Structure 1
Amino acid sequence: MTNPSAGARLRALIQRGSIAVAPGCYDGLTARLVEQAGFEAAYMSGLCVAATLGEPDVGAISVDAMVERARIIAQSTSLPLIVDADSGYGGAYNVFRATRAFEAAGAAALHLEDQPFPKKCAAMPGKTLVGAAEMVARIRVALEARTDPDFMIIARTDAFAVEGLDAAIARAQVYEQAGADATIIMSVAAEADMARITASLKKPTIVMMVENLRPLVPAARLQAIGYPLVVYPVSLLQGQVHAQARMLAALREDGSTAASAAAAVTLGDIAGHLDLPRASRVDADYARYLAQARDGVAAQ
């Protein structure tokens, strides 16, 4: 019996009846931290990957860079991974190629959004949308591109901030009908609006929680509203920047990091998160195999 694919495991999480929480990660270490903390799914944000490359979230990072990062994350964790595929990186074949590449990299799902290419971060003003027909075409191309029918194609709409709730729900309904496995309506803050969304859609719809942008609704409440999955896309990046900026300020002012050292983990802690014992076991096995081989050659 073959093991279920990443997509199949993500579908099972979404369909089980209790909400799953997917923190955002953006490299191998943060992926390991998410899994070691006991979460059941992970998310790779385009904003976070762009930030690690020194760029804002304006669609400047290539699909190949995003796919390579997804591969690193998928190899670093056993959790099903949802990846941010922006607006598909260009025309129809770009969407097709991106879908194939993210699936091959080990992701469980991707989401496409209904902004033009290049896109803007959902938190930025001045966003624009493509027509619903163009987004439907993107969804259908992605559905045709996947090789595993369980690899999830999620349709994201930024219509709430541009056209309002009714328009956003209408678009999500159209995207469901086009075959999207799930939807995301961005920028929703009020619980009443969330309840309207979940009541209006037939397929799973996913919600995102972003610190210092909109009110944070606890997972238990989101489950009662009808969400099967909540994503915290940028929490680890926000925490990293905060902690690192404080440590750098202390070093600049005091000439030492002593004031913030107590809040820092040890190198041993980091080695543990990265599973140094596994690497050590490989080295030990290699030394044993080498000794055995040398003994065998000497015996001849």
Structure 2
Amino acid sequence: MLGNGNAVPDAGAALKRLLARDRLAFAMEAHNPLAARIVGNAGFDVVWASGFSISTALGKRDRNEVSSTQLIDVLQGMREVTDTPILVDADTGFGDFNNFRLLVRRLSVMGVGGACIEDKTFPKLNSFVNGRQVLIDAEEFCGKIRAAKDSQLSNDFCIVARTEALVVGAGMHEALERAERYRLAGADAILIHSKEKTADQVLEFALHWAGRTPLIAVPTTYSETPCELFEASGFGLVIWANHMIRASVAAMSEVCNQVSSQRSVQGISNKIVAMEEVFDLFDYAEVTAAERRYCPNGAAGA
């Protein structure tokens, strides 16, 4: 069956429980309802609604070229097909405190588990792109956090504060100082981001942080790090932040290039799923059974 699409008042509570438990939780990126359905079916604890991946899927760059309304449209589709808690990558909040609190209120109504906001200026640029990477004033960012907490419709809604201090080269002291200010402003968890090739920076941060709030890691550039290290260091969640969209680009490019060069779809059956697998993924059998119940005379669509 599909997700029920109703409000999930305990989605935030479920997310907070995952972050707080002793065992490491895992989130996988999704960029549309199809991806969210696959992530949920695969048994991941959390769906990460990635700003980069959603932007890419919509043909935009990860530089706030996608509006909050476009994001909401994608998220609504995700909510309709999975009951796995969704943590939304809200970038820098789509503007000032007012933009972010309006977004949080809409997410709360939808039954999304939480939103992650990062402490860079608007418009943001993807952390792994060479370009303008500037931190926002810490107190202004704290104001965004307080506005979000005051606007959420459930106390269980989860606000994750993501500091980019290590990404922009501001150093460990700045990262720790900012994270502590964000915690005091009401953040439910801290995402410490790094673009180093090893996890040394984030593991050092975790050592100094000493479990003040749940910690989240995004091992995109240090993906070879054993997850046992994150768990032993006190992290509550690891996010595989962009792997579904990257897998999609690779698979679609391979099939498309092969069909284009050979002018035939012969020989690609081992690279694509059967139609029946897609039908099963979205439970086509349910609507057929419902049709027999609600349209006994075969009048559906008449």
Q: Find the partner of 1:103 among 104, 108, 113.
A: 108
Instruction: Find the partner of 1:224 among 227, 232, 235.
Output: 232
Question: Aligned Cα RMSD in Å?
Answer: 1.9
Question: Does the CA contact (< 8 Å) of 2:109 and 2:153 recur in 1?
Answer: no
Q: What's the offset of the Cα at 1:188?
A: 4.9
- What is the CA–CA distance in structure 2 between the aligned matches of 1:166 and 1:74, rounded to whole Å? 39
Aligned to 1:148, which of 127, 131, 154?
Answer: 154
Q: How do 1:67-82 and structure 2 match up within 5 A?
A: 67-82=72-87
Inter-CA distance 289–102: structure 2 relative to 1 (3 Å threshold): farther
Alignment of 1:114-193 (within 5 A): 114-126=119-131, 127-162=133-168, 163-189=170-196, 190-193=198-201
Q: Distance in 1 between matches of 2:290 and 2:44?
A: 28
In structure 2, what residue type is equivalent to 1:157?
A: T
2:199–2:222 CA contact under 8 A, matched in 1:
no
Residue aligned with 1:83, SS: strand
Largest Rg, 1 or 2:
1
Aligned counterpart, 1:203: 213
CA offset at residue 289 of structure 1?
8.8
**Equivalence map 1:1-300=2 (5 Å):** 5-126=10-131, 127-162=133-168, 163-189=170-196, 190-201=198-209, 202-210=212-220, 213-288=221-296
Kept in 2: contact 1:68–1:105 (CA 8 A)? no
C-alpha contact 1:23 1:41 (8 A) present in aligned 2: yes
- Which of the pair is proportionally richer in helix? 1
More divergent stretch after superposition (191-200 vs 35-44): 191-200
Given that residues 161 and 189 in structure 2 are in contact (C-alpha distance below 8 angstroms), is that contact kept between their aligned partners in structure 1? yes
* Partners of 1:279 and 1:216 in 2: CA distance: 44
* TM-score normalised according to structure 2 size: 0.90
Structure-2 separation of matches of 1:200 and 1:284: 62
| Contact 2:85-2:113 at 8 Å conserved across structures | yes
Cα drift, residue 35 of structure 1: 1.3
User: What letter matches 2:217 in structure 1?
Assistant: V
Provide structure 2 residue ranges, at least 5 long, that are not aligned to the other structure: 1-7
For 1:39, what is the secondary structure of its paired residue?
Answer: coil
Output the amino acid matched with 2:231.
Q
Does the aligned pair in 2 maintain the 1:195–1:226 contact within 8 Å?
no
Which amino acid is the alignment partner of residue 144 of structure 2?
R
Structure possessing the higher relative contact order (Cα contacts under 8 Å, 6 or more residues apart): 2
Tell me the distance in 2 between the aligned counterparts of 1:27 and 1:153: 22
> 1: distance between equivalents of 2:73 and 2:287?
23
CA distance in 2, matches of 1:264, 1:96: 42
In the TM superposition, what is the alpha-carbon distance from 1:230 to its structure 2 partner?
A: 0.5
SS of the residue corresponding to residue 110 of structure 1 reads strand
What amino acid is the match of 1:217?
T
Offset at residue 257 of structure 1 (A):
3.0
Structure 2: distance between partners of 1:216 and 1:142 = 35
> Contact (CA 8 Å) 1:85, 1:111: kept in 2 or not?
yes
3-state SS of the aligned residue for 1:262? helix
Residue aligned with 1:248, SS:
helix
Deviations 1:71-124 (A, max 9, x none): 211221010100011111112211110110112122100011111111111111
